[in-house]
């Protein structure tokens, strides 16, 4: 069975190099085995480092997902920065609608891969590019300094954005362990400084 798992992963990764990997369900269906039967085999392959699991997707360790030219051009346009508000995200619904209209092979799988790889980040109903999140984090660190606190309004002003985007970002930073909420203010969680 390990050879069959490797063969399926290699074929899928070759046919669709933009995929993050293959889910347990898809592998089980392709191999015509039950998920509960396949799971211990996959665990064994992961422990032996013949298979990796990344955000719920199984792949060969050497697999590095990559967009094709058409997908790359699509996402460059669909998640483009607004020059007037460079830190504002793009609504997920707008990207989904554009994907449906585009009819580009594998675009949905490529979209998933961009989230798994961290190139895109979903916060609430919006999508940020990694470069935006990195800049937002730099501004957060600068505004908070060492031991400082910040209100949501101060965070909004530091980003030059609106409350609509600032509050979900603050909640995301709380959830990811960067900030801690203390009443109406946030502070950096101990050890969370990006310095």
- DSSP letter for each residue of 87-140: T--EEHHHHHHHHHHH--TTHHHHHHHHHHTTSEEEETTEEEEHHHHHHHHHHH
Closest CA to 53 of 31, 15, 28, 20: 20
Rounded to two decimals, the pTM is 0.84
Angle at 16 between CA 12 and CA 22, to 5 degrees: 45
CB neighbours of residue 127 within 10 Å: 23
Query: In whole numbers, what is the pLDDT of the chain averaged over residues?
Result: 92
Judged by phi (left if over 0) then psi (alpha if -120 to 50, else beta), residue 34 lies in beta
Q: Which residue has better confidence, 148 or 173?
A: 173
Positive or negative: CA dihedral 5, 6, 8, 13: positive
Digit-coded pLDDT (tens) for 8-59: 999 999 999 999 999 999 999 999 999 999 999 999 999 999 999 998 999 9
CB neighbours of residue 175 within 10 Å: 10
């Amino acid at each position: 069975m390990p050879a069959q798992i490797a063969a399926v992963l290699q074929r899928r990764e070759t046919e669709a190099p933009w995929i993050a990997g293959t889910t347990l369900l898809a592998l089980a269906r392709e191999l015509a085995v039950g998920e509960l039967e396949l799971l211990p085999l996959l665990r064994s392959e992961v422990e032996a480092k013949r298979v990796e699991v990344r955000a719920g997707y199984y792949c060969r360790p050497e697999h590095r997902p990559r967009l094709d030219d058409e997908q790359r051009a699509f996402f460059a346009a669909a998640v483009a920065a607004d020059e007037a508000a460079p830190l504002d995200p793009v609504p997920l619904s707008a990207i989904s609608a554009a994907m449906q209209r585009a009819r580009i092979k594998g675009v949905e799988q490529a979209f998933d891969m961009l989230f798994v790889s961290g190139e895109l980040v979903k916060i609430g109903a919006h999508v940020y590019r990694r470069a935006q999140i990195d800049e937002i984090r730099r501004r957060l660190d600068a505004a908070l300094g060492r031991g400082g606190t910040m209100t949501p309004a101060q965070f909004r002003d530091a980003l030059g954005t609106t409350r609509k985007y600032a509050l979900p970002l603050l909640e995301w930073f709380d959830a990811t362990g960067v900030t801690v909420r203390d009443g109406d203010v946030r502070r950096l969680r101990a050890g969370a400084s990006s310095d």
